[in-house]
Structure 1
């Protein structure tokens, strides 16, 4: 197991999410599912869906054509999230790198709320778009939703639904 004190890979991520001692015991802030997706970069991002999950043919952005959609691209660059980004910048400032965003949310409840709101809204919209692409009958079979065991068992128990 890799020690977070001396990581071989992902040093930027470890530095960004390693909280200062003063913030470790705070209990009033909760990491939501969508905030966690952005912080860990494991969410509805084409690069992740392409390289790790195998559900995207390419890691390119469906909106702006950027060759690789990452959490950074979503947070800092993609034109699709301009209004949400403007609202976030109005609260926490211009720098939206992962490390500066994490420092901001650890320093203030107001910043925490702003970043959480951004992540909730943007990731919900990204997930809705992803579901539309999955439902498209003309989509590459790689893209289509694969019913899991739970769904198959439910269908067997409730065939009329």
Structure 2
């Protein structure tokens, strides 16, 4: 009873949130299933795809301010969002083809989330897609950051914590 009241309050709070609207619109209708599921772990790269915060030109330009434009480095599209990566970018057609075989061809985020909740196989297919695609996008981003003529906006932050951590790594 108390758990259901808390979930209802959570749904109401999420309905009024100005942030994370894309993710909230996908998960809020199936929040009870999401919370009660017995399969599927949230991985770092899955969360990037769900939230849109990651190696996407849109995020790197508008939020992180590390890109000069939101365009896609893979296909040249004007706006590289998480949805563009999931549904449109032709660079990821092979990975998307594998995903279609498991969850079907509707790549709207609410449909993807519903498919993930339908079973472990679907969840794992989406996770595999995220791991495969976003790891490649991250590697390409690091390569762009490490070029000699990289825009200072793009360069990785070299703060005290990063320097200390790097010093502890085994060569």
Q: Provide TM-score, normalisation by structure 1.
A: 0.88
For the pair 1:111 / 2:122, whether they are aligned, the reply is yes
5+ long unaligned stretches in structure 1:
none
For the pair 1:151 / 2:166, whether they are aligned, the reply is no
Partner residue in 1 for 2:86: 75
User: What CA distance in whole angstroms lies between the structure 2 residues aligned with 1:91 and 1:22?
Assistant: 20
Distance 1:154 1:22, change over 3 A: closer
Q: 1:96 aligns with which of 90, 100, 107?
A: 107
Partner residue in 2 for 1:46: 57
Counting matched residue pairs gives 157
How is 1:20-59 mapped onto 2 (pairs within 5 angstroms)?
A: 20-59=31-70
For the pair 1:85 / 2:96, whether they are aligned, the reply is yes
User: What CA distance in whole angstroms lies between the structure 1 residues aligned with 2:58 and 2:162?
Assistant: 27
Secondary structure at 2:63's aligned position in 1? helix
Deviation (angstroms), 1:5 = 2.9
Distance 1:145 1:5, change over 3 A: closer
Secondary structure at 2:36's aligned position in 1? coil
- 1:97-156 deviation per Cα after TM superposition (whole angstroms, max 9, x unaligned): 11100010011111101000000110100000000000110111111122121133357x
CA contact (8 A) 2:22 2:51 kept: no
Distance 1:8 1:148, change over 3 A: closer
Deviation (angstroms), 1:22 = 3.6
Question: Structure 1 residues 14-23 or 57-66, which shifts more?
Answer: 14-23
CA contact (8 A) 2:20 2:51 kept: no
Higher helix share: 2
- Cα RMSD of the aligned pairs, angstroms, is 2.0
Distance 1:141 1:26, change over 3 A: same
5+ long unaligned stretches in structure 2:
1-11
